[in-house]
């Protein structure tokens, strides 16, 4: 049960972030003026019509509820390092699928963050 | 205008534009981190200070959702989601993930001061590792994909 929840959390977090990043890049850079309260409603309506963004939010919800379930069967000190593992997996997939240029410095940074989050949970 | 001067002016314009992009990305990163940390903190505070015991009745659920701290937390987390989506339109996923991880550190600090949680030496070491990772990634160019420059929408 514990490891099934871990797989669901990591899988849905990775999918949600990849879909969000992919779709927001396709959407193009959000203009600062679109963040004005009088225009933000129109922008959100446009986002809600993008199927992949809606799917990303759906995966985030799955990840959230699976995390809640995991906390009921495992300690927080076990559950949090799982989030740390997803940082490294997502960096690898961002390089392979999103074609981002991940420099050595970025790899080092991602690994430091993953180790750091794991240590915070000790 | 001479070609040399045109190249120079073009390069200067690009430099200014890069600095502007860098600045707005950093400001939005701070917004993403703060809305996430304060949103989680408000939710946690609200759940720990409920006026009545959390039961299974629908009324208890509604009462929980409508309590001020839980409402504030939910609002902040909605803002977090929207600001993070905007940030992902400006910067790489492999940039956004590590630089927003400072949130884990701030959550630990808030936990220490408001909930009296202990910070062990392992946690300080973890904090140091996250800060190092964040600085390393923060020094790289936020956006490395060509597709994002174009966009498919006006």
The tens-digit pLDDT sequence of chain A (122 residues) is: 788 988 999 999 999 999 999 999 988 888 888 888 888 888 888 888 899 999 999 999 999 888 888 888 877 777 777 677 788 899 999 999 999 999 999 999 999 988 988 887 76
Comparing A5-14, A73-82, B27-36, B46-55, the range with the smallest average pLDDT is B46-55
pLDDT at B85: 93
Tokens of B74: 């939910």
Q: Calculate what percentage of chain B has a pLDDT beyond 70.
A: 76
Interface residue of B21, B28, B94 to substitute, partner A, most A CBs within 10 Å: B94
pLDDT digits (tens, 9 = 90+) for B91-122: 999 999 888 988 888 887 887 788 777 778 88
Q: Give the separation between CA B80 and CA B74, rounded to whole angstroms.
A: 10
> B41: burial class by Cβ within 10 Å (0-12, 13-18, 19+)?
buried
pLDDT at B38: 92
Q: What is the DSSP letter of A16?
A: H
Q: What residue in A sits closest to B122 (Cα-Cα)?
A: A119
Tokens of A82: 């799982």
pLDDT at B21: 58
Which B-chain residues 107-136 have CB contacts (< 8 A) with chain A? 108, 120, 122-123, 125-136
């Amino acid at each position: 049960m514990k490891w099934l929840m871990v797989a669901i959390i990591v899988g849905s977090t990775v999918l949600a972030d990849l879909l969000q990043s992919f779709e927001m890049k396709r959407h193009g850079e959000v203009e600062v003026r679109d963040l004005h309260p009088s225009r933000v409603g129109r922008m959100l309506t446009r986002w809600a019509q993008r199927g992949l963004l809606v799917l990303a939010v759906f995966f985030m919800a799955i990840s959230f509820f699976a995390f809640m379930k995991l906390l009921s069967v495992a300690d927080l000190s076990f559950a949090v390092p799982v989030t740390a593992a997803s940082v490294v997996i997502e960096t690898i997939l961002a390089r392979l699928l999103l074609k981002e240029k991940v420099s050595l410095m970025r790899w080092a940074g991602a690994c430091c963050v993953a180790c750091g989050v794991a240590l915070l949970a000790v | 205008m001479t070609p040399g001067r045109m190249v120079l002016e073009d390069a200067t314009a690009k430099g200014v534009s890069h600095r502007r992009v860098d600045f707005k990305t950093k400001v939005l990163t701070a917004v993403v981190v703060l809305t996430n940390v304060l949103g989680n903190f408000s939710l946690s505070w609200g759940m720990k200070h409920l006026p009545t015991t959390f039961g299974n009745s629908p009324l208890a659920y509604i009462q929980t959702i409508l309590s001020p701290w839980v409402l504030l937390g939910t609002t902040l987390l909605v803002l977090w989601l929207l600001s993070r989506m905007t940030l992902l339109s400006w910067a790489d996923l492999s940039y956004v993930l590590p630089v927003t991880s400072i949130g884990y550190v701030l959550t630990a600090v808030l936990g220490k001061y408001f909930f009296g949680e202990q910070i062990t030496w392992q946690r300080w070491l973890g904090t140091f590792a996250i800060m190092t990772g964040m600085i390393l990634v923060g020094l790289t160019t936020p956006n490395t994909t060509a597709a994002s420059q174009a966009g498919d929408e006006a």
